[in-house]
Amino acid sequence: MAGWLTLRDLYLSTRDIPKTQGRSKLSVSVTVNGKSIYVFSADLEQGRKPIVSDKAAAARTLKNASDILAIDEFVKKLDYEVEAGRTTDEIVVTLVSEGTGRRLGKSPG
């Protein structure tokens, strides 16, 4: 079987603030009947260009620069096997977005 995973308006950003370190991460995973069939990730560290695990699926990228990643449309064809005799399938799409930030250097006090 085959299906399509389509996501729109994915946006990751950090701000370049002196003496800080920030990071944004996004992951998308797809399972069918408990079996992982696809994982996508994007990682953006402050002051650096984003790292994307599947550039082909993220082909409609609006902006890919230091501190920002904006994907207009993300499309991926997903092929998977269906067990014989099975009448339904459970497809689970999990999207996790994480952001962290911290100050660098000595703390006052």
Has residue 61 been placed in a domain? yes
Has residue 106 been placed in a domain? no
Has residue 68 been placed in a domain? yes
Has residue 22 been placed in a domain? yes
pLDDT of residue 90: 92
Has residue 108 been placed in a domain? no
pLDDT of residue 103: 85
Has residue 93 been placed in a domain? yes
Global pTM exceeds 0.75? yes
Q: Can you give the residue range of the structural domain that contains 94?
A: 2-82+89-98
Report CA torsion sign: 29, 42, 22, 12.
negative
Has residue 27 been placed in a domain? yes
Pairwise CA distance, residues 16 & 81, whole Å: 45
Has residue 107 been placed in a domain? no
Domains contained in the chain, number? 1
Residue 16: HSE in the Cβ half-sphere, 13 Å Cα cutoff: 7
Low-confidence ranges of the chain (pLDDT < 50): none
